[in-house]
Amino acid sequence: MDSNGSGGKLDNERSVGMAQVIPSGTNLELTQDILDSLNVAQASDDNMKNLADIGGIEGLCARMSLNTKTGLTDAQVEAYRERFGPNVFPEKPMKSFLQLFIEAFDDTTLIILIVAAFVSLIVGSYEDPNKGWIEGMAILVAVLLVSVVTALNDYQKEKQFRDLEKNSEALERCSVIRNGEMIRINPDMLVVGDVVSLKSGDGIPADGVLFEGSGVKCNESALTGEPDDLKKDFFKDPFFLSSCEVTDTGTSGDAKVVCIGIGKESQWGKIKANLTSEASNTPLQDKLDDMVELIGKGGGGAAVLTFIALIAMIWLKHGGKEPWTHVIEAFIIAVTIVVVAIPEGLPLAVTISLSYSSGQMLREGNLIRQLQACETMGNATNICTDKTGTLTENRMTIVEGMFGGVHISQEAFESTNPTALMKGDFAYNCALNSNVFLQDKDETGKAYDRPKVVGSATEGAMVLLLRKWGIDYQALRDTYFSTSRDMQFPFNSTKKRSTVILCDFPEGGDKVKLLCKGASEVILEDCAYYADENGDAQKLTPEKKAEFLSLIDQMAGRALRTLAIAHKNYKDLNKIPADYRTDPPDGSDLVLDAIVGIIDPLRSDVKEAVKTAQGAGVMVRMVTGDNIITARAIAEQCGILTGSGETLTKEKFEQIKNDPAALDKLLPNVAAIEGPVYRNLTPAQADLVLGRVQVMARSSPDDKYLMVTRLNGHGLPSNQKEWETLHPGRDYATEKDKFLPGYKDEWKATRPNGGQVVGVTGDGTNDAPALKASDVGLSMGITGTKVAQNASDVVITDDKFSSIVRAILWGRSVYDNIRRFLQFQLTVNVVALLLVFIGSVAGFPPPLNAVMMLWVNLIMDTMGALALGTEKPTPVLLLRQPYLRDAPLVSKPMWRNILFQSAYQLVLLLVLLFMGTDFFGNEFLRGDYCLNWEVGNPNKLKDITTLGTEIMAGSSNSTETGMALNQLWYYPDTKCGDFYKICGESNNGVCYQNLFADISHFEDDCLENCAKTDYDYRHFTIIFNAFVWCQIFNEFNARQIKNDPNILAGITGSKMFLFVIIVTVLFQIFIVEVGGDWVRTTHIKFEYWIWSIIMGFFSIPIGFIMRFCPIWNEEDEDSFFGYVMPS
C-alpha cells in the first residue's frame, strides 16, 4: 500500500527497492569482475540475479559509496577514472599508409602498365644494355608516384571520415549529477558510478542500471537489432546499454541510471573496435563515376585506334624491323592513353572539395554527418524550419501575462511583485511540471553571464521568472515531488500540454493536485473555471472566456508566444479516475491560473539570412506549434511571409470545405495555414497550397512529415498494400486520392521534373520521421535530442538559421568546384588523346610518351583537384536558382569553353609537331629523323667494304674505322649515324668526300646531327613543355565556368590554387631539365622556355574572347528549379 492507501505494481516499479538488504558478509569492494557480471550481453536474467546477489541497486551503490541524490564527488570521479578507465571507446585501427599504398596497385590499368614496363625493361636491356632499360624503369617510377598519390588521397579520405565522427562526438553532452548539482559534460568524461539523467530522445552514453523512473522505454536496435522499444523496470530489465536511445520516459520527467560499464568495458565498446563505418560515395560521386566510365570507354577506343596506327607504322615506317620492340612501345602508349583518359580525378575532386568544405562549414556552425548533405544543400529548393531557437535566440522571457483574471502589461510586468497565487499554484506548475534546470557555470567552473537553460527554453523562461521572484524551483521540487509517488507526463504534441499529478500534496485540504500547462487556446478550451486574484476558483463564463481569447490574440499579435497555466484538485486518490497513471485527467474542468506571454527575440542575422535564401530561389517555410496569429507576426518580422496571402484557419476551413470551387480558388493564395487544416486536405489540394504557403501554425510533427513527403516524394506508398497499411480501414480504389500524403504514381504524374529538394530542421524526437524523409535533415546542436541528431544529415551547432544559409552557399560552392575541375580535365583529355593519335597516324613517335602522359595525368587528377576543388564560395552563388536534380554537370557555356581551349591547344601542338623545324630551324630536327635516316641501296657499298679491309690491314690507329666500314657489309642500308662512326668529327670533310659524297639520296642537312648517337629530344620536349604550360594557364580559365571574364577574381584568397600552380611549374622545370632519358626530355635554351610560356599564355586571351561568343553563352533555363517569391 502507498501513503494514500492505494497500491499496485506501478507504484512498486517507481521505487528503487530500498527495502532490499545487502547480504551479510558481503565484500564491499567494487571490482571490474563484479561490474562485468552485471553487464553480460543478451543475458538480462543472469544480470538481474547477479545484481540481487550483491544487494540490488542499494548494494551496488554501497560498494560505490554513492549517494544517488548528490552523485559522485570530484575526488570519487578521479579515483574511479583511475580505477576503471575513461568512457572512451576503442577504434578499429586506421589502415596504414603502407596498406593503402599496396591496395593502390589493385587497379587493372596500373597492373597492365607495370607488366608492359617490365617487358620493355627486359627487351630494352637486351637490345641496348646501356640505355634500353631506361624507358621501362621510368614508367615504373611514374606508376610508383601515381600509387603514392593515390594512397595519400585514400589516407586523407579515411582520416576525414574519422574526423567527421570525432567532431560529432566532441559536441555531445549528457546530464550528470555531481557534487549535488546537475551539470552537462561530454560523455567521454563519464566514469563508473556517475548518476546520469536521461530524457526522451537522449542517447545513452554508457551502460547503466535504472534506479529512478517509470514507464521508461529504450530502443536497442543499434546494438541488439531488436526493432521494438523495450520497457525498462526495476524487476525484469533495469539495464541501459550505451549507443542506444531513450524513446520514452513514461510518467517521469527523466530516467536516472548509475553507470556500470564505460568505454571498452561497455557492451558497445566490446564490439565497436570491429565496427568502424566506411565512407560511401555521395550522389555527385556516383554521377561522376558514371561519367568516368563513359569517358573511359572513349579513351579506350582512342587507345585501340592509336595501338592499331602504331602497329601499322612498324611496316609502313620501319620496314618491319624489330617488330616486338615496336609492339611493346605501342602497347605501353595505348595503356598510358587509357590511364590518362580515365579521369580518376573526378571522384577525387569531390572528395577533396567535400573534405575542405566540411571543415570550413564546421567553423561556420555546420557539422556534416553525411557527406552527401554538403552537395545536396547547394540545390535545396525548400527549407522547412522551426521557429524557436532557429529563427529566434532561444532566450525566452516572460514579459506579459494574466494572473488571477488580471492582465499585467509589459510595461508593468517588470516591477510586479508576486501575489499569493503567483507563489502558489503558478509557481508549483512552473517548478514541478518541467524537467529543465539552470546551469550557472560551464564545465571549467567559469560563471555564465546569464544562467544557461538545460532543457526546454519555454520551461526555462518559467523557472527564470521564479528565480527573479526569489523562489527556489529546486527546493519546490525537493519538497513537493517524489518520483516514487507522483506522476509526470512530458509534453504531448497531440494534446499540446504537459501534466504532473501530485499524489500527496501537503498544502490545503485536497491531497491530489493536477498541474497542467500548454497551448493557451487549447488549454482554455478545457477550462471550466479560472482563479481570481485571491486564488479562488470562479466560473469561466462565455464573456470571461472571450476576454481571455481576445487577450491571447493581442499578445500573439505582438509576436509573443502564449502559454496557459492550469490546475485541478482532488480530495484524494479515490476521487481521481483509476487510469490516471497512464491517462491523466487533464482534458476537462481545469482551473485557469494564468496566461503568460513569452518573448523570444529574433536572431540579429535572421532577416538578412531569410532574404538571401529567398533571393537564391529557396522557399523558406516556418513550421511551428504557435498559434497562427503569433506565427504570422513572427514570419512577417523575419521576412519569411512575403506578399499578402490568405490565412486558412480551422474555423475558416470548416466553413468552406464543402464548397470545392471556393476552396480551389482560395488554396493557391494561402500563405499561412494551420496544421489541422493541412492534414485534412487531399493530395491535390495540398499541392495547391504548397505552391504558396510559407507558414504552418499549430503543427504537429506529423504535419511537418506530410509537408516534406508531399514536396519531395520520399516515403510515399508505392503500391496498394503500402497505402492500406498507412490508412487502415480505408478503401484504396475509391479513397486513394483523398488522403495525404498520396501515393507514388499520382505524385510522379504531376511532377515531370521530379520533386523538390527539401531541407528540414528539427530538434525533438518526434521530428525524426520528417528529418529522415527530407533530402537534408538539419538537427539542432544545442536544443536537439540525440534521436533527432542521429536522424539528421547536418547538425547546426549554433542553432542559427543563418548557418543553414551558409550550408546552401557551401553546397553550391562544392557543385561549382567540381564543374570547374571537370571543365579543366575534359580539355586536357581531348587534347592529349587527339595529339597522340594524330601523331601516331602521321608516322611520328608518340609526341607525348608514357612517362609524359603519366605526369600530365598527375597534373589533371591530384594537382587539378586540389587547385580547383578548394575554391572558396562567393556571395554571387546565392544569386541564382537551384539546379534540377538531373541537370547536366557540363553546361553549354562549359562545352563552349572546352571546345575553344581544345581547338587552340590542338592546333598549336600540331603546328609544332608538323612545322616545328620550320620555325626553329635545324638546330633541332624531328626527334630521331637524322639518327634513323637511311640512304637506301648505297651504290658504293662494295668500295667502302674493300676500303675497310685495307684499313684493317694497315695502321692500328685506323683499325676501328676499318672495322666499322667492314660491318657495313652486313647492313642492307647505310644510316646517317654511320657517317660519324666511320669519319669521326675531325676529318669528316675528307672522309665524307671520299666515302659518302656520291652516295645517292644522302641528306646534307643531317650532317651536323650525324655526330649524335642519341635520340634528339628537343623537338618533342618543346611540344611537351608547350602542352603543360597551356594546362597551367588554362587552370586560370577554368576558375570561371560561365561568362565572367575576370578569371583572377578572389585569386589572392585561393592559397591552395596558387600553391598548386607554383608546385606544378617547379616540377615541370625539373622534369624538362633533369628528366633526360627517363622522361625523354632534354635541356632547352631559355629562348625556348619563353616561347613555351608565351604559347601557353595565349590560352588566357583565347579564354577572354570565348566568353563573348554568342554561341552557347547561357545555361538552359530548364536546368534550374527554384521559386520566385510572392510579392
645 Cβ contact list (under 8 Å, min separation 6): 669, 670, 671, 672, 692, 693, 694, 1126
Q: Spell out the alpha helix ranges (H) of 196-344.
A: 221-224, 267-272, 283-316, 323-341
Q: Spell out the alpha helix ranges (H) of 842-891.
A: 850-858, 864-868
Q: Given 386, 486, 526, 767, which residue is catalytic?
A: 386
How many CB atoms sit inside 10 A of residue 1044's CB?
11
Consecutive H or E run containing 5: none
Of 911, 907, 899, 912, the C-alpha closest to 827 is 899
Q: For residue 865, which amino acid is it? A: A
Backbone angles phi, psi at 89, to 5 degrees: -85, 140
How does strand 695-697 pair with strand 619-623?
A: parallel
Name the 3-class secondary structure at 789. helix
How many CB atoms sit inside 10 A of residue 929's CB?
18
| Polymer length in residues for the chain | 1127
Cβ atoms of 390 and 365 within 8 Å: the answer is no
954 Cβ contact list (under 8 Å, min separation 6): 962
Of 13, 488, 68, the C-alpha closest to 248 is 488
Report the alpha-carbon distance of residue 595 to residue 398 in Å, rounded: 10
Active site residue 386: yes
Name the 3-class secondary structure at 1016. coil
Strand-pairing partners, residue 924, are none
> What is the per-residue burial (b if ≥16 Cβ within 10 Å, else e) of 813-843?
bbbbbbbbbbbbbbbbbbbbbbbbbbbbeee
Cell of 94: 586506421
Q: For residue 591, which amino acid is it? A: V
CB half-sphere exposure, 491, CA atoms < 13 A? 21
Strand-pairing partners, residue 400, are 597
How many CB atoms sit inside 10 A of residue 25's CB?
5
Of 159, 209, 241, 223, the C-alpha closest to 51 is 209
Cell of 111: 597492373
Of 372, 330, 292, the C-alpha closest to 123 is 330
- The dihedral through the CA atoms of 596, 601, 602, 603 has a sign that is negative
Cell of 993: 668526300
Report the alpha-carbon distance of residue 250 to residue 492 in Å, rounded: 11
Of 213, 248, 211, the C-alpha closest to 229 is 248
> What DSSP letter does each residue of 137-157 carry, written as one string?
HHHHHHHHHHHHHHHHHHHHH
843 Ramachandran zone, left/alpha/beta (phi>0; psi -120 to 50) = left
Report the alpha-carbon distance of residue 52 to residue 759 in Å, rounded: 50
Give the distance, in angstroms, between the CA of residue 201 and the centroid of all CA atoms in the same chain.
23
Whole-Å CA distances, 310 to 6, 299, 304, 473, 622? 98, 16, 10, 89, 66
Name the 3-class secondary structure at 621. strand
Report the alpha-carbon distance of residue 331 to residue 337 in Å, rounded: 10
Report the alpha-carbon distance of residue 240 to residue 229 in Å, rounded: 12
Give catalytic residue positions. Answer: 386
